[in-house]
Amino acid sequence: MIQYKKLILTFLLAFSLSTVSNIAYANDPITFPPPKDGETPISNVGEPTEEEFKKFQEEVKNELSKIENEFPLTEAEKNEAKKLDSIKEQLSREFEAKNIELSKDTRPVPNSYEDYINLDRKNDPLGDVEKVPQRIAGSAKWHYFGWGDIAFAKPGTSGNSFDYGTFRHTGMWDNDKKRLITAQPSPGVIWEYQTEWNDRYPEIFGSWIPSLTASERASATRYAVAQLGEPYSLRHAKTVSYRWYCSKLPWAGIHGHGVDIDRDGGFLVLPDDIYYDSDVSKFVNF
């Protein structure tokens, strides 16, 4: 009987700790009341209108303002970011000089809802995915990433959100957590770790938005983090603020600061749209 009681107590303790952990995860580091369907007048399908864009941007700007007021960067953090930005500026020049040619033999990225629903997802032109290299210590260059930097992954062994374009997945760097905020079809908005990316993807690229300050990039990232746990969907216009996919998260926060990193301005904003946008600078690949 005593052993039976101990077993029950152990189970209850484990359950309570798990519950506390889940609550902490859901609320980490900030939360906002989830947007209601009627909060922004949008259409679930079809191209967003100019009015919808304005409403969406205003909504995001308001949340970004709350974030910056509640979680300002310290002077030490700003100085650290300046040093890192200086390094990335040099890396960007070197990256541009390399003139890296990426394969265009990929399924076209849809830029309208009609393109998306009519897309033939069979027979991927890329064929079999590349073998993921063994990244030895130091070869994975995550130490160059700072607030709001965006990582792009070429097709890998698992965890790909998309089956078209040169890049199949993306994530936004949280400099406090030293990990990526992103979204996947099943769990929705989640954290992903450096080690996961190292193991899954054969080649990773890093980019940043030089026109934004470190504080703006930080608030854009924290806006994305505030969506933790929200559902995944590719069937909603990108101005819907309660359904997400990996590349929509960085686009939304950065768009709230007045910079649109969607190259073609279509129904979806996919990894290729961001990578090839003129406001985005590349600084590393590994």
d(CA 55, CA 234): 20
Domain ranges of the chain: 55-101+111-120+142-285
pLDDT of residue 96 exceeding 60: yes
Highest mean pLDDT: which of 5-14, 100-109, 155-164, 195-204?
A: 195-204
Rounded-to-integer distance, Cα 198 and Cα 8, Å: 40
The pLDDT tens digits for 119-165 are: 665 556 665 666 777 777 668 899 999 999 999 998 776 555 567 78
- State the pLDDT confidence band at 268, using cuts at 50, 70 and 90: confident
pLDDT of res. 7: 41
88 or 240, greater pLDDT? 88
Higher pLDDT, 208 or 128: 208
Q: Which pLDDT band, with edges at 50, 70 and 90, does 67 fall under?
A: very high
Beta bridge partners of 190: 182
The pLDDT score that the predictor gives to residue 154 is 86
Residue 236: DSSP 8-state: S
Residue 91: what pLDDT?
96
**Phi, psi at 56, each rounded to 5°:** -65, -45
Q: Is the pLDDT of residue 187 over 80?
A: yes
> For 14-64, how does the pLDDT look when each residue is reduced to its tens digit (9 = 90+)?
333 333 323 222 333 333 334 444 444 444 455 667 787 788 888 899 999
Query: Which is more confident, 180 or 113?
Result: 180
What is the rounded average pLDDT of the residues 251-274?
91
Question: Which of 9-18, 34-43, 179-188, 205-214 is predicted least confidently?
Answer: 9-18
Contacts of 276 (CB under 8 A, 6+ apart): 263
Task: Say if residues 251 and 238 touch (Cβ distance below 8 Å).
Answer: yes
Of the pLDDT bands very low, low, confident and very high (cuts 50, 70, 90), residue 114 is: confident
Question: CA–CA separation, 97 vs 110, rounded Å?
Answer: 30
CATH of 55-101+111-120+142-285, one of 3.90.1150.10, 3.40.50.720, 3.90.1720.10, 3.40.50.300: 3.90.1720.10
Residue 183 in this model has a pLDDT that exceeds 80: yes
92 closest CA partner among 101, 102, 100: 100
Q: What is the rounded average pLDDT for all residues in the chain? A: 79
pLDDT at 16: 36
Q: How confident is the model over 176-203, as a mean pLDDT?
A: 92
Tokens representing 20 are 């506390």
Integer Cα distance of 122 and 21 in angstroms: 41
Average pLDDT of span 84-113:
85
Percent of the chain with pLDDT over 90: 48
